[in-house]
Amino acid sequence: MNIISTIIPIFAIIILGGFARWKGFIPPDFLAPANRLVYYLAIPAMIFHSISKASLKTQFDSTVLTVTLLAVIAVFAFAWGVGLTRWVERKQLGTFMQCSFHGNLGYIGLAVAYYYLGSEGLVRASIIAGFIMILQNILAVVALQLHAENMDLKKNRWEVVLRILGNPVIISALAGILFSLAGLRLPLVIDRSLAILSGLALPMALLIIGASLSFEVMQLQLLRVLSTSVMKLILLPGLGLIFYRSCNLALQDYLPGLILLASPSATLTYVMAKEMNGDTDFAVAAISISTMLSAITFTIWLTLAG
């Protein structure tokens, strides 16, 4: 396994996405429909296709999952504690918190897992990702809801619950798990169709990430934005690595979880901030900076783990 030959190609495609937008090959109007295509079709197809063909008895570790989720909860609590020091304004606190723990699992985490660990690593990562996404979405909603201005909790709670349960990545991961546990096999035509659609997922996702980065807003409250990147890219995977090794887990078992924990802030943090009266400018800045810095931190964590 070569770390450099994994990380550089992934972030080269992200840079290419930014260059393509700058040159006009990817116009702004293309990003929203392209993102929906990847988010609702390609990524779920890839996850379901991978998990449904897996043997969960050998590729699922409940201890790894538990430890990974505990690390996310710990950083959520830490970010909340930082916010309570009044260093962060109330109207910004929810966005600040979710950018500190809400990782880009579907677009970047799974890409690194696949290109670094191969198909088996992708399966392990996809299974863990489904559960992390459920937790991340719940915690993000809590953070934004508690600190949003003029939000009616009773009016919006069922809508929020439906959004969490309707997350396409969560649905595809759970469907793949049930399909595998039932011992079912995909018909050849469906299997090949999903394989073709899956091939679209990661390259298109990386191009979209690059085209979505914003350099204009990065200077806004730079210190606070960088602090979320430190928590997301250093504190969260660092805690995870300590927990994994404290439990004497094997490297091949916990490495997919570590990769997911080391993923940069999710693009979904912007969407949720916009829908729940959070700070969208802060979200864009945090996503952009953590995505660029993750090229370095991924290399560091994979080196330390391996």
pTM across the whole model: 0.80
Q: Say which CATH number the domain at 129 has.
A: 1.20.1530.20
Q: How far apart are CA 236 and CA 254, in angstroms?
A: 14
Q: How many domains does the chain have?
A: 1
Could you tell me the maximum CA-CA distance found in the chain, to the nearest angstrom? 58
Q: Are 99 and 268 in contact (CB under 8 A)?
A: no
Q: Are 15 and 210 in contact (CB under 8 A)?
A: yes
Domain region containing 89: 3-213+220-305
Of 209, 211, 212, the C-alpha closest to 201 is 209
Helix, coil or strand: residue 103:
strand
Q: Which of 67-76, 156-165, 282-291 has the lowest mean pLDDT?
A: 156-165
Q: How far apart are CA 129 and CA 217, in angstroms?
A: 29
Per-residue pLDDT reduced to its tens digit, 122-156: 888 888 887 888 788 788 877 877 766 655 555 55
Mean pLDDT across 243-257: 92
Q: How far apart are CA 44 and CA 118, in angstroms?
A: 18
